[in-house]
Amino acid sequence: MKPIHPDKKNIVLRTEDLSIGYHHKNNLEVIAADINLKLYEGELVGLVGANGIGKSTLLRTLSNVQPALHGEIYLSDKEINSYKSVDLASQLSIVLTEKIASKNITVQELVALGRHPYTNWIGKLTDEDIDKVSKAIEVTHITEIINKRCFELSDGQLQKVLIARAIAQDTPFILLDEPTTHLDVYHKAYILKLLKRLAFETQKTILFSTHEIDFAIQLCDKMIVMNTKGFEFGRPKELIQCRAFSSLFPEDLILFDAKTGSYKVRN
């Protein structure tokens, strides 16, 4: 597939003056403010930042799991709060690091749950649903484990199955919270390359949070770097040039090496 010229791509997610955070009794805890983002179709976007900086809070707010403190979120040009939940599920899929409620179901059944927004009230799958489930299983390379029950899976296998469920859901926008936690270095790269391929081949917009900053720099089209002063958004090369990664952590222990795009421990 040929890459589409950026000017011809549609905006899938847009935020206007978004503030995220929490209500504590009479106080507001603002985690980040003035977030103005535009994510286009076909982009793989990595969200990075130190522990507790607000990555999960941002992902939960963008997926309408928790309310924004201020500002607007537009998904496919429609304000996110104005979607009925079944319509939102056809626009947006979320992969969280949550435990599966019923681990007794098979991999095939779990992936098929991704078709839930499109099935009738008894959940009967049409030929199109079955086709989408098969394709999701194929692209995530989980064919060999489809009959396993979810409690039998390793963390890495389960992670791939949850991604397959999101692919079967076939939404223009996919959000993933730390999809590579618990994976070995090979499978971290495998999952991130799979997301990259998906964004490119299916023109979906994929936003994921990660602590694998060096992999994200190598693979992402754009990145969001959250820090204590706010956030920076752009192509990895531009972010390296404006020293966004250098100021991410205190420099007493580790230093960002702009040449290799990775952190080095100070001697």
Ligand X SMILES: Nc1ncnc2c1ncn2[C@@H]1O[C@H](COP(=O)(O)OP(=O)(O)OP(=O)(O)O)[C@@H](O)[C@H]1O
The CA distance from 256 to 249, in Å, is: 9
Q: How many CB atoms lie within 10 A of CB 125?
A: 16
Question: b/e for 35-55, b at 16 or more Cβ within 10 A?
Answer: bebebbbbbbbbbbbeeebbb
Task: Choose between 56 and 140: whose C-beta lies nearer to ligand X.
Answer: 56
Q: Specify the residue for token string 């939102």.
A: 88
Residue 102 C-beta: closest distance to ligand X, Å: 25
- Supply the Cα-derived Rg of the chain in whole angstroms: 19
Strand, helix or coil for residue 262: strand
Residue 100 C-beta: closest distance to ligand X, Å: 20
User: Per-residue DSSP letters for 187-251?
Assistant: HHHHHHHHHHHHHHHH--EEEEE-S-HHHHHHH-SEEEEEETTEEEEE-HHHHHHTTTTTTSS-T
Task: Choose between 51 and 267: whose C-beta lies nearer to ligand X.
Answer: 51
DSSP H helical ranges for the chain: 55-62, 85-88, 107-112, 127-139, 155-169, 185-202, 213-219, 236-241
Residue 179 C-beta: closest distance to ligand X, Å: 13
What is the helix (H) or strand (E) element at residue 16, kind and residue range?
strand 11-24
CB 12 within 8 A of CB 40: yes
Residue 57 C-beta: closest distance to ligand X, Å: 3
Task: Choose between 3 and 52: whose C-beta lies nearer to ligand X.
Answer: 52
Residue 247 C-beta: closest distance to ligand X, Å: 16
| Among 198, 193, 176, 188, residue whose Cα is nearest residue 55 | 176
Q: Specify the residue for token string 């770097």.
A: 225
Task: Choose between 129 and 177: whose C-beta lies nearer to ligand X.
Answer: 177
* Contact residues for ligand X, defined by CB under 6 A: 22, 31, 49, 51-57
Residue 106 C-beta: closest distance to ligand X, Å: 30
Residue 177 C-beta: closest distance to ligand X, Å: 7
Task: Choose between 57 and 93: whose C-beta lies nearer to ligand X.
Answer: 57
Task: Choose between 20 and 198: whose C-beta lies nearer to ligand X.
Answer: 20
Task: Choose between 145 and 224: whose C-beta lies nearer to ligand X.
Answer: 224
